[in-house]
Structure 1
Amino acid sequence: MADAAALARRPGPVPAVDRAAGILLALGNGQGDASLSDLARRLRIHKSTAHGILATLARHRFVDRNPETRRYRLGPALAALGRAAVDRQDLGALARPHLVRLRRLSGETATLHLRDGSGSVILASEESANQLKVVAPPGYRLPPDAGAVAKVLRAFGPGEAGWPARLPAYTPRSVRDPARYRQELLRVRRAGVAVDDMEYLSGVRAISAPVFRGTPGRDAEAIGALSIVGVSARLSPAALRRLAGPLRDAAQALSAALAPDAGGSPPRPVRKGFRGEGRARG
């Protein structure tokens, strides 16, 4: 009964977005380009409505209009989005063997996070077989400055732009002082791994290593992080130290698979490092 009530409250489609999606699908059905009249007829909408939607899609290059024939076709922005989606799928597939090995080695959950705005998002994971475990579903987003992943992305990232005056207190163990956090990031750059000792979630420890597109230069920016995360009762500080080497090796191997000569693109340089920056070690 509760499920039926939740389903009844679920919002329906937004008409304008639904029609825009219909136009894109109609143009991508393999029949080539189409006129305004064709599209309005297929979607059973007024020509004025179709014209407004097409004008908006054209503004963002999702469709192109041939000025001579006045016919529409799919635009280059869709191709760019498609490539981005394929790149993420490929990265998840490349990471899978490393995630499986790290899960088997540690007995805990292994994840691959990618940068996502100011935070990060889980692209792929292999969860622990233990009944008591950290669940890490793909698509789950971590907030800025949350745990070991955030330390890696900060340490091998674009510097201090946008840092808050005080860092968030997720748990009583969270590092809130920016000066102390900066020193922690220097240690992360030297060690090539970051540790979260119950700083984001009480009773949970984690260790993360940076993933780059290829072998990183001094100012390379990490695109994401490989991590091992588990309950503190099993994942002790000693266990984190033991797992640091294998995790670092896995992150380096995944980075090498993303090198330009392996089909990736070169790493994006950091615009400005944080003060006191040390040399990166992958």
Structure 2
Amino acid sequence: MPDDGVARPRSPLQTVDRALEVLLSFTERRRDWGVMELAEAFAIDKSTAQRILAALAARGFLSADPVTRRYSLGPTMWRMAAVWERAGGLAALAQRVLEPLAFQTDRTAIFAVPDGLHVRCVAAVDGGGPLRSHPLVGELYPANAGATSRGYFAFLDSNERRALISGRVFATFTGLTKVDEQELERLFVETVAQGYAYSEGEYDYATRALAVPIILRGRPVGSLSLGESKYPARPDDIRDHLPALQAGAEQLSALLDNRAHSAAVARQTRVTRSH
């Protein structure tokens, strides 16, 4: 269609896409929007911003503060999140990465997310050794013991990490567990420098683990790790599988950020416009 300078109304699909963009703009740092703020951020007029916000609020996706007239996420988001989680949620999504990773490396693959001063295993798939995934799901790994937790905590902003850890009393699990705050910080710094976490016998004398962070929009949101029992001995080193683990972390990050689907939609849009 030629560009004759005449403004035309947005199609229904464009309007829906813009409304979804507004929902996706909410983050830990951006928890609410005012009408003028939204209009400026999205380069739309005030009336359009008001209509989008009001429509989302009418369906419960947003909630409007009657005093400040600012919009934050509403109860429908909670309900949809609950439905998604009951349908498998994060665990089902992670399985797409964990299953091929466990098969390729012959180790148990674990996806864990933060839970206070721990990370919690939300999904795991067995490798070929005696380490079984079933008891691992739901297990909490403390910040001071093991690669699975260090693969997350080390990559936090250092000030955020210190605020979490400072003054805490940590439990000792084995003779290799670090409980001194300064020792832990040195270990976190070393982990960031090498780009991955490795542990042997810190949380359990009989296990080793290798972990990398799951990064979403510049922030760690969890860890992806490989675990193995030290007995019986294996012909290869678990660290040999670091490239596969890093590739898995990138795949999982893309799934969590919906990048694969977004790229496919963009490709289809380009194809459609070219015909």
TM-score (norm 1): 0.57
Match of 1:267 in 2: none
Match of 1:229 in 2: 227
Which residue, out of 84, 87, 95, partners 1:86?
84
Task: Give 1:258 deviation, angstroms.
Answer: 2.4
Determine if contact 1:166/1:176 at 8 Å carries over to the other structure: yes
Unaligned runs of 5+ in 2: 1-59, 61-73, 263-275
Shift of the 89–117 alpha-carbon distance from structure 1 to 2, 3 Å rule, reads farther
Farther-moved stretch of structure 1 (190-199 vs 92-101): 92-101
2: distance between equivalents of 1:237 and 1:205?
15
Match of 1:189 in 2: 192
Structure 2 residue 139 is matched with structure 1 residue 140 = yes
- Percent identity over the alignment is 22
2: distance between equivalents of 1:196 and 1:86?
34
Task: Give 1:242 deviation, angstroms.
Answer: 0.3
Count of aligned positions = 186
SS of the residue 1:114 aligns to: strand
Structure 2 residue 162 is matched with structure 1 residue 160 = yes
1: distance between equivalents of 2:78 and 2:100?
33
Match of 1:123 in 2: 122
For 2:240, the aligned partner's letter is R
Task: Give 1:210 deviation, angstroms.
Answer: 0.7
Shift of the 165–112 alpha-carbon distance from structure 1 to 2, 3 Å rule, reads closer
Shift of the 236–154 alpha-carbon distance from structure 1 to 2, 3 Å rule, reads farther
Shift of the 180–141 alpha-carbon distance from structure 1 to 2, 3 Å rule, reads closer
Shift of the 122–165 alpha-carbon distance from structure 1 to 2, 3 Å rule, reads closer
Within 5 A, what are the aligned runs for 1:99-114?
99-114=98-113
Structure 2 residue 211 is matched with structure 1 residue 213 = no
Match of 1:97 in 2: 96
Match of 1:203 in 2: 206
Task: Give 1:223 deviation, angstroms.
Answer: 1.0
Unaligned runs of 5+ in 1: 1-60, 62-75, 215-219, 265-282
Determine if contact 1:113/1:123 at 8 Å carries over to the other structure: yes
TM-score (norm 2): 0.58
Determine if contact 2:169/2:179 at 8 Å carries over to the other structure: yes
Q: Deviations over 1:176-216 (max 9, x none)?
A: 222222121112212221111110111111111111224xx
1: distance between equivalents of 2:119 and 2:170?
17
For 2:256, the aligned partner's letter is L
Note the aligned Cα RMSD (angstroms): 3.1
2: distance between equivalents of 1:106 and 1:149?
17
For 1:77, the aligned partner's letter is P
Task: Give 1:128 deviation, angstroms.
Answer: 2.8
Match of 2:174 in 1: 171
Which residue, out of 243, 246, 254, partners 2:244?
246
Shift of the 156–236 alpha-carbon distance from structure 1 to 2, 3 Å rule, reads farther
2: distance between equivalents of 1:165 and 1:116?
15
Shift of the 81–192 alpha-carbon distance from structure 1 to 2, 3 Å rule, reads farther
For 1:221, the aligned partner's letter is R
Match of 1:77 in 2: 75
Shift of the 84–152 alpha-carbon distance from structure 1 to 2, 3 Å rule, reads farther
For 2:162, the aligned partner's letter is E
